[in-house]
Structure 1
């Protein structure tokens, strides 16, 4: 009997309690938190990993379901899971920042469609970058690293003592600045070339005001942007791997300190 006459099997209650942290991480993390992923698949994965955690760690859930200490423990578990997923989701915002900078300079900022990750409208170039970052994330087994960190988090942050300290919360906040830095560095090769092109077009418009440079400048920006993307994409792919590595390292620092 677990509070107010509610009868639950102890093993089932322990599994539900463990699934709170894992489910919160999957809700906030990329790939797992995509709206295109069915809820039943997400819940099944959460339950399967919860069974793995119960087999590896002796988790003791709160004795009563309807108690203040139980609600506080569940909030702490959800906070840890959301923090781990939020760090990865923050890193995945870097391609969107880069696409805004490049797309605005190329003149294709208006091209947008529904993003399958979050179900909202986003730039088409940003979706292309996000898909490439997702594929690189999966290719280096980032999803397995996330699951491994979730299992290890029950050693470093056991239930009942899982409140994140001020230093770890500050590290999460400062990692948000890395998304802007990574987006700027990701857009730097193409963005700098387009900036130089815009400067040349601006100088020509001042030197020859009678010329209709709008009919030349926009196609030139689009053509130069496409060619620059094709040339710079190998280097951009390498830096996307750095973004994935930094985000996974940040998750490891959050969990293990």
Structure 2
């Protein structure tokens, strides 16, 4: 019942209630939460996954729509979905951190462009690494793992008992440091070579003060940065797979314990 003497189909109300958690995850999750994904597509995917959830398990929605307990239950469902998608999105911030470090060391930190995934301005190197991480995420079936995880969450965190505990919220906050650590490790091969180049240029400036470092250092930094990035790309790709697995493992630990 709606609460004002009006009725709603039980199956439709159950589907709408299930779609809250799924839709909240799709808002912030990688790939699904990109601005390039239209809103009708997200709603359709939420409904399709919601039908799978209702077909595989029994969900008891609140009996009355317009009630305080119902609003609290909906807020709890949205919190669980946002937490699942957000903890994976944290891992996807690592390429942006690495792009800032590499771009600043190469001297192209000013080279920004609009990221089609987020709609915000981001470094060109970071955007390249972010697109590469997204492709690896899809190749590893990370999007399917997320859908499977949100379905299993209805067993581990059933509706009505789905409030995130203080320990789970603490784990999300602590996992935020992983983005900086992973970004630093991702940028380490290229950043180390650029650091060595800066040391060499510093010694040259002391031994030959008349040398114009602006005319030599900038092209050298760009050349070494591009070459080292091309050489280190296979190793960076392997570590990006680790980042994807760590993000999914953190989400799985958040849901299943």
TM over 0.5: yes
CA-CA distance at 1:113 after TM superposition: 1.1
RMSD of equivalent CA atoms: 0.7
Moved >4 Å (runs of 4+):
none
Aligned with 1:122: secondary structure?
strand
Partner in structure 2 of residue 29 of structure 1: 29
Instruction: Tell me which residue corresponds to 1:106.
Output: 106
Secondary structure at the residue paired with 2:113? strand
Please give the per-residue CA displacement for 1:85-138, whole angstroms capped at 9, x wherever unaligned.
001110000000000000001011111111111111111111110110000000
Distance in 2, matches of 1:91 and 1:117, equals 15
Instruction: Report what 1:163 is aligned to.
Output: 163
SS at match of 1:193: helix
Shift of 1:221: 0.2
Pairing 1:135–2:101 present: no
C-alpha deviation, 1:231, in angstroms: 0.3
Q: How many residues align?
A: 257
Question: 1:69 deviation in Å?
Answer: 0.5
* Counterpart in the other structure of 1:6: 6
What is the Cα deviation at residue 208 of structure 1? 1.5
CA displacement at 1:164 relative to structure 2: 1.1
Do structure 1's residue 228 and structure 2's residue 247 form an aligned pair? no
Partners in 1 of 2:110 and 2:3 — Cα distance? 56
Structure 1: tracts of 5 or more residues without a match: none
Deviation of the 1:5 alpha carbon:
2.7
Query: What is the TM-score when the length of structure 1 is the normalising length?
Result: 0.99
CA distance in 1, matches of 2:6, 2:188: 59
Question: What is the aligned partner in structure 2 of residue 94 from structure 1?
Answer: 94
Quick one: distance in 1 between partners of 2:206 and 2:70?
Answer: 70
CA distance in 1, matches of 2:6, 2:97: 49
Q: 2:41 is matched with which residue?
A: 41
> 2:119, 2:90 → 1: CA distance?
17
Q: Indicate the residue corresponding to 2:182 in structure 1.
A: 182
In the alignment, the residues of structure 1 paired with residue 77 and residue 9 of structure 2 have an alpha-carbon distance, to the nearest angstrom, of: 21
In the alignment, the residues of structure 1 paired with residue 58 and residue 71 of structure 2 have an alpha-carbon distance, to the nearest angstrom, of 20
